[in-house]
Amino acid sequence: MAVHIAALVSAYLILFFLSLFCLFPVGLGELDPQSGAPISPRFGLKALIAACIAGVLWIGFYALIAFKVVDL
């Protein structure tokens, strides 16, 4: 059971960070002319969206395990 929980948690974390890094370049808006950095990168909103995307993908992953399509 502990391996099962560890696999599920690690799968969620991988999906979260994968979706977060895919969302980083989206919607940067205006750039600061001196540094070239975005003025408002909106990291909090991107983290929330990434958590939702990872949650949906994780539910699909868990469904594959629950219906015995994938065996851990």
**What does the alpha-carbon distance between residue 24 and residue 17 come to, in Å, rounded to a whole number?**
10
Is 7 contained in some domain?
Answer: yes
**Which of 39, 12, 38, 44 lies closest to 25 in space, CA to CA?**
38
- Count how many domains the chain has: 1
38 forms beta bridges with 31
C-alpha dist (Å) from residue 7 to 2, 10, 25, 61, 72? 9, 5, 29, 11, 8
For residue 57, being part of any structural domain is answered with: yes
| Per-residue pLDDT at 3 | 63
Mean pLDDT by 10 residues, the chain (72 residues): 82 98 91 89 96 98 90 78
- Residue 71 is assigned to a structural domain of this protein: no
Is 43 among the domain residues?
A: yes
User: Is 44 among the domain residues?
Assistant: yes
Distance of CA 28 to the CA centre of its chain: 18
The owner of tokens 């949906």 is: 56
Please give the residue range of the domain that contains residue 33: 2-66
Q: What is the pTM of this model?
A: 0.87
